[in-house]
Structure 1
Amino acid sequence: MTTFPRAAALALILTAAPVSAALAQSAAGVEAVFRATTLSLNATGEVLAAPDMAIIGLGVATTSRTAAEAMAANARQMAQAMTALKAAGIAPRDIQTARITLNAQYAYDQGQTPRLTGYQAANQVTVTVHDLTRLGLAVDATVSAGANQVNGISFALSNPGAAETAAREAAVRALQAKADLYARATGYRVSRLVSLGETGGYEAPQPQPMMAMARMEKADTPVSPGELKVRIEVNGVYELVR
């Protein structure tokens, strides 16, 4: 049988005492929370902001008898479109290749085996335009130079921080007002905010699909950026007292 000196045993007892006290205090705190009357709510804050940039999807699709001819024609046409973009004031860093494809084309006649008719090559680029006054010009110049697909356009904020802050403040005010309303309606008053969380936030919109376009007329393409809605959602738990 192992024995311990009396001093060591006393030290163990003294060490265990504060731990037990801390656990008891923690349990009491948890129990108090469960005994409290709480209110769980969520609210949304929204602000409108004028966009200052646009993202457009442009492309070139070419069809030819052989794959090599289709790719070569596509490369020439795309090079002309890229030159037009740069001439319209679009920086090279704002032009990004998104997709290059080559697909065989078949004719499907009823009752017949599919017949190879040629190949289609396609090159898609994503273009970021920071000066919205040049957006219509950039699209027109590119299409005039050989781009025959406009796959989508979206507007965005280059720095959404200020709009997000305003939306957060609006969301918190709405949350507090809702908590006060529920408290009054149930004969309570808000004692304190127990927790606060955030969900959602601003996300730059993706280009929306548009119909593939043939060569456009020389007229300027009208552009209306409108306003963007920046939305922040918050949730909170409030303690209520009589």
Structure 2
Amino acid sequence: MLKSKKLMVALALVIGLCVGIVSGGMVTSKDLNTANASEGSNDSTLTAYGEGRVSIKPDIAYVNVGVETLDKDAKKAQQDNKAAMDKVMAKLKSLGIAEKDIQTSDYYVRLEEDYRNDKREILGFRVSNTVKVTLRNVDKVGEVLAGAYEAGANTFHGITFDVENRDDAYNKAMEQAIAKAKEKAESMAKAAGVKLDKMDVVCEGLTTPQYRGGYGDMKEEMSMDAGSVPVSPGELDVTANVTIIYKVK
């Protein structure tokens, strides 16, 4: 019973340490030592944190393009939207984009109204249809945006770059993180006048991908061609972090 209780206390404190550590630092597990001492144990521990980072070039891009139409007749607004969107879809496919990589992301019909001088004026029905396009060649982003614009697209909702398979980069970042945590632990132990014993706990931290890149400059009033849409994919930082708890003697 006592052994089970000690294990529960230790696990709770380890989870708290892994969640509570933010970035770039290292802590000694005084709380864990205190808990152990209160249970009659003399074990001492040392906790170190490490972060690894690998920069890679994105190999996939996502763009959202669409068509908006407005007419006082709801049916005509929808028909006009469909006709324009059919041309955009045909253009996207002619640029080599597979049908599986074109997905409807938003569609709505809503009544547009205006109130002036306490009078209600019905402007018409606005119909919007947006598709999310997956580009497996990031060099074609400018060409695709220009082609969609020429075909009738009049709404653009940003560009997102990513890496289709980031496992290799993440594993390399994790190796860096563990190496840095070990190095910090050794420095701390030396400064504290103790020796590292076995590795007691290894805890993987949560990570958020960080993107560094450029953006496309898109304006509806300009006549776009592939050269007028400056797009820079930049780099994607894949990070990994780890917390290691050692027993010391």
- Scaled to the shorter chain, the TM-score interval is 0.7 to 0.9
Aligned to 1:81: 88
- The C-alpha deviation readout for 1:171-228, integer Å capped at 9, x for no partner, is 11111111112111211121121111112246597xx998984264243222211110
- The C-alpha deviation readout for 1:84-113, integer Å capped at 9, x for no partner, is 101111111000001101111111214x14
- Tell which structure's C-alpha radius of gyration is larger: 1
Aligned to 2:236: 228
Q: Does 1:108 align with 2:115?
A: yes
Q: State the identity %.
A: 29
CA separation of 1:217 and 1:192: change in aligned 2, threshold 3 A: same
Aligned to 2:191: 185
- The C-alpha deviation readout for 1:93-152, integer Å capped at 9, x for no partner, is 000001101111111214x14321101100111110001222211111011101111101
Q: Does 1:71 align with 2:78?
A: yes
Aligned-partner SS, 1:61: strand
Q: Does 1:141 align with 2:147?
A: yes
Q: Comparing 36-45 with 23-32, which one deviates more in the overlay?
A: 23-32
What code does the residue aligned with 2:155 have?
Answer: Q
What code does the residue aligned with 2:244 have?
Answer: G
- The C-alpha deviation readout for 1:140-171, integer Å capped at 9, x for no partner, is 10111011111010111111111011111111
Of 166, 180, 190, the match for 1:160? 166
Q: Does 1:130 align with 2:147?
A: no
What code does the residue aligned with 1:63 have?
Answer: L
Q: Does 1:171 align with 2:187?
A: no
CA separation of 1:212 and 1:75: change in aligned 2, threshold 3 A: farther
Q: Comparing 40-49 with 209-218, which one deviates more in the overlay?
A: 209-218
Aligned to 1:41: 48
The count of aligned residue pairs is 216
**1:190-205 maps to which residues of 2 (within 5 A)?**
190-201=196-207
Of 223, 242, 247, the match for 1:217? 223
Residues in 2 aligned to 1:120 and 1:28: alpha-carbon distance in whole angstroms? 65
Q: TM-score, normalised by structure 2?
A: 0.78
Q: TM-score, normalised by structure 1?
A: 0.80
What code does the residue aligned with 1:106 have?
Answer: E
